[in-house]
Structure 1
Amino acid sequence: MHTELNKLLSALQEFYAREKFLFERDLGERALTHRLAVHMEKHFPGWEIDCDYNRLGERTLRLPRGAIVSTDDHLGKSVYPDIVVHQRAIPNNLLAIEVRKASNHQALDHDQHKLRALTDPHLWFAYGIGVLLTLGKTKITASELYVGGSIDQALSLWFADRLRDKGLGD
């Protein structure tokens, strides 16, 4: 897991170094997630990096009936992670990333519940790691990591320490 997260950290360093324009003009989360995904591509050879991707092979990525997680489509059935690192054809899911701007004052619940569901090993589409990133204008103001359907405190602390070491975190 640390190897994959170190790749994400390198991409985040490049993202903050090269995308100041986006932050200076307070562009939206979709613009930020797209550009972060672009920077991630070279760090994950052999993997596809997609934004708002709601498939697993030919199947639509849907939450189980009765899930407490709200979904992102108008029918309330499928879920769209902000960024995924996966292999489309196999299918094989490595990372699910939810991104929010620090200026977003909505509750974290939606993103947290989504990452719990996306990493739940009992679901057919489980991602190995879920990452919640809160992006400030110059650094990441908060992060949480999810494994096995719940927040992984030790991994979250490790990641936060690595962000600080790279000058990217509080």
Structure 2
Amino acid sequence: MQTELNKVIAALRDFYAHEGFLFEKDIGERAITHRFAVYLERQFSGWAVDCNYDRLGERTLHLPHGTIISTDDHLGKSIYPDVAVHQREIPNNLLTVEIRKASNHTPLEHDQHKLRALTDVHVWFPYWIGVLLVLDRQHVTMSEVYVSGLVDDPLSRWFATRLAESGLAAAH
């Protein structure tokens, strides 16, 4: 998993090197997510990298009723991953990334719940790794790594340390 997370760090490094305009002009999260996906795609040759992908193989992605996450994307609060690194046809789901701007004041629990659901081994073809990134104009202000439906604390600490060593996050 560290190999995949190092690729996320490389994509973040390129993203911050070229996309400062998005933060200077306070552009929305969906545009930021798309531009990050462009850099992430360069790191994962042989994989499809999509934003807001709503399928698991031939099936439309839905969660059980009663969940706090909606499959209706008109409110921008869907289960669809912000960024998915996967093989569409098989399906083989490697990595999902949720991106938030640090200035977003909606509850973080939405994205956390979404990542728990998307990496849950009881879901049909879950993502192997989930990453939550909270971004400001200069660096990552918060990150978490999800595996098997839970925050993986050791991997989250490792990832945060690597981000800090790369100059992409404040040191702890």
Which category describes the TM-score, using the shorter chain as reference length? over 0.9
* 3-state SS, counterpart of residue 12 of structure 1: helix
Distance in 2 between residues matched to 1:110 and 1:13, nearest whole Å: 26
5 Å-filtered alignment, 1:80-99, equals 80-99=80-99
5 Å-filtered alignment, 1:4-153, equals 4-66=4-66, 68-73=67-72, 79-153=79-153
* 3-state SS, counterpart of residue 11 of structure 1: helix
CA contact (8 A) 1:61 1:125 kept: no
Amino acid at match of 1:71: S
Amino acid at match of 1:69: I
Distance in 2 between residues matched to 1:29 and 1:141, nearest whole Å: 15
- What number of residue pairs does the alignment pair up? 168
Amino acid at match of 1:10: A
CA contact (8 A) 2:118 2:149 kept: yes
- In structure 2, do the counterparts of structure 1 residues 102 and 118 end up closer, same or farther at CA, with 3 Å as the change threshold? same
CA contact (8 A) 1:95 1:130 kept: yes
CA contact (8 A) 1:69 1:117 kept: no
CA-CA distance at 1:72 after TM superposition: 4.5
- In structure 2, do the counterparts of structure 1 residues 74 and 37 end up closer, same or farther at CA, with 3 Å as the change threshold? closer
Amino acid at match of 2:123: L
Distance in 2 between residues matched to 1:162 and 1:49, nearest whole Å: 23
Amino acid at match of 1:17: A
Q: Which runs of 4+ in 1 moved over 3 A?
A: none
Sequence identity (%)? 61
